[in-house]
Structure 1
Amino acid sequence: MKKKTINYNYADFDLVKNIALTFPNTEESISHEGTPSVKVRGKLMCRLHDSGEFIPIRLDFDLRDKYLDSHPEIFHLPDHFKAYPYICMWIHCHDKKLLTEVLEQSWKGLATKKQVKEYDEKKTTTG
């Protein structure tokens, strides 16, 4: 059995990782095929895909559809991911505001209700 060639650059994940780690209780981790990832409470939030071409980000199905419709040049959905609550972002996305928004939605889907409430309250007061 031939092992597939893994060709990715860790630096392609830096922007995503650095934003994701600003949310409470996130941690850097290693995921599939040794790729860098960020987890929340031990659950995968986002990672660099082993193809090196995109970043799967965990996102509820309704939000996923919204972003796929509104930003088809940034997000896509390979067949393998259709049954799972993930959206895939091309690594060349450098829209920091959009990325932060999507990662915040991802984090909120994985954090506890208490963590989300505390985060929203703090965000409102620090504005």
Structure 2
Amino acid sequence: MKSKSVDFNYADFETVKNIALTLPGTEESISHEGTPSVKVRGKLMCRLHDGGEFIPIRLGFEIRDKYLDSHPEIFHLPDHFKDYPYICMWLHNYDRKLLEEILELSWRGLATKKQIMEFEENKKQNR
């Protein structure tokens, strides 16, 4: 049995991780094949793919399809991910503002109603 090649650089996940960790209740973790990830309430929010080329980000199917259509140069969907609520972002071809938007949407799908309410209050106060 041939083992799968794991080829990634932890530094490639730094920006994504740092943005994700600004959201309430997020925590740094280790996921599949020892890749760095961020979780919310123990559920995977995003991680560096073990191939090192992209970052799967948890996102509801309807929202995912909208971003796949509007930003095909940034997001894609490998066959393995089609049945799961994830979108895959190419590693070196993304816009930081768009990344922040996607990560917040991902977080909202995993956070509690209370966490979302407190987050909204904080946003209002910091405007």
> Which residue of the partner structure matches residue 68 of structure 1?
68
TM-score, scaled relative to structure 1: 0.97
2-side partners of 1:2 and 1:94: how far apart? Answer: 33
Instruction: State the Cα deviation string for residues 52-96 of structure 1 (Å, max 9, x = none).
Output: 010000001111011101100000001110111000000013411
Instruction: State the Cα deviation string for residues 5-30 of structure 1 (Å, max 9, x = none).
Output: 21111111111000000000100000
TM-score, scaled relative to structure 2: 0.97
2-side partners of 1:72 and 1:102: how far apart? Answer: 14
Q: Structure 2: which 5+ residue stretches go unaligned?
A: none
- Following TM superposition, where does structure 1 have runs of at least 4 consecutive aligned residues deviating by more than 3 angstroms? none
**Residues 1:27 and 2:42 are matched in the alignment:** no
1-side partners of 2:110 and 2:93: how far apart? Answer: 23
Aligned AA (2:31): S
> Which residue of the partner structure matches residue 99 of structure 1?
99
Q: Retained in 1: the 8 A contact 2:37–2:45?
A: yes
2-side partners of 1:19 and 1:35: how far apart? Answer: 17
Instruction: State the Cα deviation string for residues 105-124 of structure 1 (Å, max 9, x = none).
Output: 00000000110011011101
2-side partners of 1:16 and 1:91: how far apart? Answer: 10
**Residues 1:10 and 2:42 are matched in the alignment:** no
Aligned length in residues: 127
Aligned AA (1:37): S
Instruction: State the Cα deviation string for residues 32-65 of structure 1 (Å, max 9, x = none).
Output: 0000000000000000001101000000111101
RMSD of Structure 2 on Structure 1 (CA): 0.7
